[in-house]
Amino acid sequence: MTATVGTAGTTGVTGGIGGAGAVGPVGAGGAAEPAGVPAGAAAGDVDGWRAVAAATGPADRAAAEAGVRLAYRRAGLAEPERIVWAGSPRAALRLLREAPDGPCGPAARGRSVREAVRSAPWAAERGRLNELLGARGWGRRWAVTGARLWETTERLADRIRAGLVEEAAGGPADEAEVRLLLLDAVLGQHDAAWLCAFGTEPGSPLEGLAAVARSAGWWWPYERLAVVCERPVELHRDEAGRLDRGDGPALAYGDGFALHAWRGMPVPAAFPAELRALTPERIRTEENAELRRVMLEFYGYDRYLRESRAKPVHRDDTGVLWRIPLPDDEDVAMVEVVNSTPEPDGTSRTYWLRVPPDTRTARQGVAWTFGLEADAYAPLRET
């Protein structure tokens, strides 16, 4: 069971921004492990764990519960008396914050065993591999496994935490309580990034944790009970792996807990509806510079430029430089670039990149997008 990866319901894949993706087995590119690394030390496949981190759809409750019980046993603990399911991390927090004598309250659940169930086995495995591979070898292993998934997965988990704090916290005391409870969470599928660096085959110390990760979302291990969450039902991201959706929540759980974002930037829940009714006037009068940027992107720079009768500032063989003055804000400077490879229908795609406001020529702007000075930018060939 642990050899397969729970990809059912996956809507997308994630990975490190910059995405020079590792999608082969460890060692395939020459980052070979020293001879003598015993079976059971091999890291999992990055692609499979990438899919786990992005999986949506109902949890495999039987597999997750078996994983929870196994994780307790491997930690030397008695299995939890009860496993309680929650529709989302928000619902889990609500259960845990009910009356102190409630069914999941402090008295009923006992103390957190996250340290014993999750952190100690992880630290022991890391120590063991560090010993086995050497610090350098471990660094290499991490570079081609966990590091690939870390940034996008961690960013997603951070956004969820921020959303939970924002929704659940009514005041400073509430906020502290929510933050403390979040420290007790094991991230299930979002632990994929670090699990990917370790062996998780049957019999290995992390087998139980990996089984939960492959079948469910976040979970809270306590002495007498575990609260386990469903996975999201929707996850929408852009090519860079950032939360991104213009017509609904970018992340949503079945019970209604949701996050809205446009190309990674958190936006209010009502914002997507507003985006569809934008006018140049509305964009000009938006006072929040970040939201205005999102509006401009959504509306389309080209359309905005056309409708606001903007004039090109400069034109050369790299593209066209445009400038949109904004009241009480720095100018928006854009280079308009034509994609060199025609689309299948023979047309060429024009795209727009925002460049620093002090840009004076199109070449300077395009060169900046690659970190170069204008006169250093001279491609021999472009496609």
For the record, the structure tokens of 104 come out as 């999941």
**Residue 18 is a binding residue for another protein (CB under 8 A):** yes
Return the residues of window 245-264 that contact another protein according to CB under 8 A: 264
Q: How far is the CB of 81 from another protein (least distance, A)?
A: 41
Contact 56, 249 (CB under 8 A): no
**Residue 131 is a binding residue for another protein (CB under 8 A):** no
State which of residues 33, 177, 201, 238 lies at the interface with another protein (CB under 8 A): 238
Sole window of 89-97, 115-123, 199-207, 375-383 interacting with another protein (rule: CB under 8 A): 375-383
Torsion angle in degrees (nearest 10) through CA of 243, 248, 253, 256: 140
Q: How far is the CB of 243 from another protein (least distance, A)?
A: 12
Would you say 109 or 237 has its CB closer to another protein? 237
Q: Which residue has 């670039």 as its token pair?
A: 337
Sole window of 71-79, 112-120, 171-179, 346-354 interacting with another protein (rule: CB under 8 A): 346-354
In DSSP terms, which residues pair with 225 in a beta bridge?
82
Q: How far is the CB of 282 from another protein (least distance, A)?
A: 20
**Residue 28 is a binding residue for another protein (CB under 8 A):** yes
Q: Which residues contact 233 (CB under 8 A, 6 or more apart)?
A: 56, 57, 252, 253, 254
Cα–Cα distance for residue pair 234/254, rounded to 1 Å: 9
**Residue 105 is a binding residue for another protein (CB under 8 A):** no
Q: Which residue has 């997965």 as its token pair?
A: 153
Cα–Cα distance for residue pair 73/9, rounded to 1 Å: 30
| Burial class, 297, CB count within 10 angstroms (exposed 0-12 / middle 13-18 / buried 19+) | middle
State which of residues 7, 9, 10, 31 lies at the interface with another protein (CB under 8 A): 31
State which of residues 174, 306, 351, 373 lies at the interface with another protein (CB under 8 A): 351
- Residue 115: count of CB within 10 angstroms of its CB: 14
Cα–Cα distance for residue pair 202/66, rounded to 1 Å: 13
Q: How far is the CB of 348 from another protein (least distance, A)?
A: 12
**Residue 346 is a binding residue for another protein (CB under 8 A):** no
Residues near another protein (CB under 8 A), total? 57
For the record, the structure tokens of 196 come out as 């990917």
Return the residues of window 41-70 that contact another protein according to CB under 8 A: 47
Would you say 101 or 375 has its CB closer to another protein? 375
For the record, the structure tokens of 112 come out as 């957190």
**Residue 333 is a binding residue for another protein (CB under 8 A):** yes
Inter-axis angle of helices 120-144 and 146-168, nearest 10: 130
**Residue 143 is a binding residue for another protein (CB under 8 A):** yes
Secondary structure of residue 163 in the 3-state scheme? helix
Q: Which residue has 């990055």 as its token pair?
A: 46
**Residue 239 is a binding residue for another protein (CB under 8 A):** yes
State which of residues 69, 159, 293, 363 lies at the interface with another protein (CB under 8 A): 293
**Residue 16 is a binding residue for another protein (CB under 8 A):** yes
Would you say 79 or 373 has its CB closer to another protein? 373
For the record, the structure tokens of 62 come out as 């039987």
Q: What residues line the site for another protein (CB under 8 A)? A: 12-31, 47, 139-140, 143-144, 151-152, 237-241, 264, 289, 293, 330, 333, 339-341, 351, 353-356, 368-372, 377-383
